[in-house]
Amino acid sequence: MTTPPRRQSPPARATRRPRRAAPRSQSFIERNRSRLLWGIGGVVFLLLAGLAYAGVTRPTYACTTIFDPTPAPSWVAPSPAPVASGATPAPAVTPPPPGYVEPDMGHLHAPTGETVTYRYCPPASGKHYNTAGQGPIKGGLYGPGDQAVPPGWVHNLEHGALVLLYSCKAQDGQTAPACTDAGQQELKALLAKWPDSPICKIPPGQLTPVFARFDNMATNYAAIVWDLVLPMDQIDEAELFDFYARNAEQFNPEKQCAAPTATPGPATPSPAASGSPGASGASPGASGASPAASPAASPAATTAP
């Protein structure tokens, strides 16, 4: 008998394939890494944009009361008293100088962009910015849409400038006169006539005057030097230039030049220079003197709306 040949076993595999590991489950952060990064970036952008918008739209000033001296009675010249035969007539009584004293609010610096609260508006003193281009600002006419804020031009006042404010607030349904095309042209023409400053002879345009919009006041216009306000419902050039000549660079804390040397006067004062405030030859800005309110110049402050 023949034995059938033995069936050969298959050759052993030289190598065995490694078993594939089961895929590891990814975490939520790993699965959404891109979305999360984009989302975080978007949130940061919105926060930065919000902070920038808040900085732009945040008010630069606030008012506690509106300075409104208009209820004060108008000055009326007294009737001249009869003069006895051979007697010397009494000196003529002249009106007090134009303008009203506003209580001083100091002259501290404030960080640029900070909201400054003034006890009186329009302010004739108070805290202000001290940054190039922000305060003091360049003199000239600023239109109704331009940014010329009180903490900026109050610094101009501190240096002796005059600021002429105009309101765009409608009254009795009528457009404010200064905010019409004709009103802006009137202000441009006024600026072209502006003289050098009365003491330091600073040419117009460098520091003074500043014409700017300001709605938080009781009248259409207000001319301001440090601590003094001249409210006006319409521009009176003669009164405005008189106010500037008498009071500019008189009471401001930071002088831009040395005070002129007083010219020696006569040994005996003339009758016109004696007695009453505002008499001819007497100036409200005598060297070293503080501005004093005239009898008709007691401020009456009304609560701001």
Domain edges within the chain:
59-71+95-259+286-305
Q: Tell me how far apart the alpha carbons of residues 275 and 53 are, in angstroms, rounded to a whole number.
A: 58
Average pLDDT over residues 130-149: 95
Q: How confident is the model at residue 96 (pLDDT cuts 50, 70, 90)?
A: confident
Closest Cα to residue 279, out of 96, 71, 88?
96
Mapping DSSP to helix (H, G, I), strand (E, B) and coil, where does residue 252 land?
Answer: coil
pLDDT of residue 209: 98
Say whether pLDDT at 303 is over 60: no
pLDDT, tens digit, 9 for 90 and up, residues 237-246: 999 999 999 9
- How does residue 124 score in pLDDT terms, banded at 50, 70 and 90? very high
DSSP H helical ranges for the chain: 28-31, 33-57, 150-158, 181-192, 237-247
Q: Residue 79 has what pLDDT?
A: 80
Mean pLDDT of 75-84: 78
pLDDT mean over 29-33:
69
User: Left, alpha or beta for 79 (phi > 0: left; psi -120 to 50: alpha)?
Assistant: beta
Residue 249: burial class (beta carbons within 10 Å; 0-12, 13-18, 19+): buried
How many CB atoms are located within 10 Å of the residue 252 CB? 20
pLDDT at 81: 75
In tens, the pLDDT along 169-209 reads 987 778 899 999 999 999 999 999 999 999 999 999 999 99
Average pLDDT, the chain: 79
Q: Is the model's pLDDT at 282 over the cut of 60?
A: no
Query: What tens digit of pLDDT does each residue of 259-277 get?
Result: 776 554 444 344 433 333 3
Highest mean pLDDT among 83-97, 129-143, 168-182, 254-268: 129-143
Burial string for 136-174 (b: 16+ CB within 10 Å, else e) reads bbebbbbebeeebbbbbbbbbbbbbbbbbbbbbeeeeee
What token pair was written down for 274?
């004696």
- Token pair for 189: 């023409």
Contacts of 131 (CB under 8 A, 6+ apart): 112
pLDDT at position 272: 37
Question: Looking at the predicted structure, is the pLDDT value of residue 26 above 90?
Answer: no
